[in-house]
């Protein structure tokens, strides 16, 4: 990394997701589903960031993002207690697990895979804030159009003979079906005992009515930003992809499941949007 060089800020999606996690802590009722204001530290937005339209009018999406983050964190903690020692985050964005939970992270080898600009920016910010990069955290910069994320992961020290947890959230929307098939085929070759947690998005007609207008706005914004949302799946289609890729076991976790896990009896009636479905698959 060149001293004093300015790096391009992560894309709007990564920034927005990190800010939603912080906003949850700051304005939603306790108990908080997920506590993460670390991303807010990294971004250091202007003082009026809570008044941004994508913060003010997206309560259900914010709830979805904190539930997603909590689900992944519960999974990696559970798996680490069972002896898993490798954790790969595909499309890591501004994930902060390594900084927030050093008690668990230090027992793992964590590989964060993302675009080179995003990881360079994050590294610069961590160093500037005095956190540095611990030895167990490996940044794996990948230009997805020009190189293989799998080859770069292996070069970074990932042991293909040991089981791992792979998290891939908020990525499949932007990939073609063929790219998703290729990704799943590769992940299904991981060492036995590995676990994949990957999010998919339902087609518009399967969303709750109250979520359809916001989804239409999100799709329009993504197209205009040059990152169109291209892949949507029913739960049956997601399962078919996993089975065809060769995973030993697979199931989907719906928004209704997330409500049962994390949102029961909340005093503020916070509920997640209906669009996102998790695939949980094991090799």
Q: Measure the CA–CA gap between 199 and 172, rounded to whole angstroms.
A: 7
Mean pLDDT of the chain: 94
182-210: pLDDT as tens digits: 999 999 999 999 999 999 999 999 999 99
Contact 34, 64 (CB under 8 A): no
Report the pLDDT value the prediction gives residue 101, as an integer from 0 to 100: 96
What DSSP state is assigned to residue 107?
Answer: T
Bridging pattern class, strands 109-114 and 86-90 = parallel
User: Which residues are registered as beta bridge partners of 26?
Assistant: none
Question: What's the average model confidence in pLDDT over 225-248?
Answer: 94
Report the pLDDT value the prediction gives residue 1, as an integer from 0 to 100: 47
Report the pLDDT value the prediction gives residue 6, as an integer from 0 to 100: 67
88-133: pLDDT as tens digits: 999 999 999 999 999 999 999 999 999 999 999 999 999 999 999 9
Query: For the CA atoms of 180, 186, 187, 192, what is the dihedral angle to 10 degrees?
Result: 150
Across the chain, the runs of DSSP E, i.e. the strands, are: 86-90, 109-114, 137-141, 165-168, 195-201, 249-253, 276-282
User: Which residues are registered as beta bridge partners of 112?
Assistant: 89, 139
Q: Measure the CA–CA gap between 204 and 211, rounded to whole angstroms.
A: 9
Percent pLDDT > 90 in the chain is 88
6-55: pLDDT as tens digits: 677 888 889 999 999 999 999 999 999 999 999 999 999 999 999 999 99
> Taking the alpha carbons of 174, 180, 184, 187 in that order, is the dihedral positive or negative?
negative
Q: Which helix (H) or strand (E) holds 213?
A: helix 212-224
Q: Burial, 30: exposed, middle or buried (Cβ in 10 Å; 0-12, 13-18, 19+)? A: exposed
Q: Measure the CA–CA gap between 112 and 88, rounded to whole angstroms.
A: 6
Nearest to 10 by CA among 127, 140, 169, 117: 117
Chain CA centroid to CA 201, Å:
13
Q: How many residues does the chain have?
A: 283
Q: Which pair of structure tokens corresponds to residue 1? A: 């990394």
More confident site: 192 or 144: 192
Contact 279, 198 (CB under 8 A): yes
Q: Measure the CA–CA gap between 220 and 171, rounded to whole angstroms.
A: 17
Percent pLDDT > 70 in the chain is 98
Q: Domains plus CATH for the chain?
A: 12-282 (3.40.50.150)
**148: number of Cβ within 10 Å:** 12
Q: Which helix (H) or strand (E) holds 241?
A: helix 235-245
Question: What's the average model confidence in pLDDT over 147-160?
Answer: 96
């Amino acid at each position: 990394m060149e001293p004093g060089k300015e790096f391009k800020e992560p894309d709007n999606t990564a920034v927005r997701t990190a800010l939603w996690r912080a906003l949850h802590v700051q304005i939603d009722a306790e108990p908080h589903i997920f506590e993460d204001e670390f991303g807010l530290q990294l971004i250091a937005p202007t003082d009026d960031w809570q008044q941004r339209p994508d913060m003010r009018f997206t309560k259900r999406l914010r709830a979805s993002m904190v539930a997603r983050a909590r689900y992944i964190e519960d999974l990696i903690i559970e798996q680490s207690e069972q002896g898993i020692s490798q954790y790969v985050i595909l499309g890591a964005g501004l994930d902060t697990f390594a900084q927030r939970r050093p008690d668990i992270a230090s027992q793992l080898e964590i590989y964060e895979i993302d675009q080179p600009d995003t990881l360079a920016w994050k590294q610069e910010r961590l160093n500037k804030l005095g956190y540095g990069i611990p030895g167990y955290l490996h940044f794996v910069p990948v230009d997805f159009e020009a190189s293989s994320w799998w080859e770069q992961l292996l070069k970074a020290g990932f042991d293909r003979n040991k089981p791992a947890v792979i998290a891939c959230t908020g990525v499949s929307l932007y990939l073609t079906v063929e790219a998703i098939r290729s990704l799943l085929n590769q992940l299904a070759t991981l060492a036995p005992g590995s676990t994949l947690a990957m999010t998919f998005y339902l087609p518009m007609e399967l969303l709750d009515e109250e979520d359809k207008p916001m989804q239409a706005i999100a799709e329009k914004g993504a197209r205009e930003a040059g990152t169109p949302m291209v892949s949507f799946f029913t739960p049956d289609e997601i399962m078919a992809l996993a089975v065809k890729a060769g995973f030993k076991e697979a199931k989907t976790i719906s928004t209704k499941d997330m409500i049962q896990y994390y949102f029961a009896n909340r005093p503020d009636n916070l509920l997640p949007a209906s669009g996102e479905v998790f695939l949980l698959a094991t090799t």
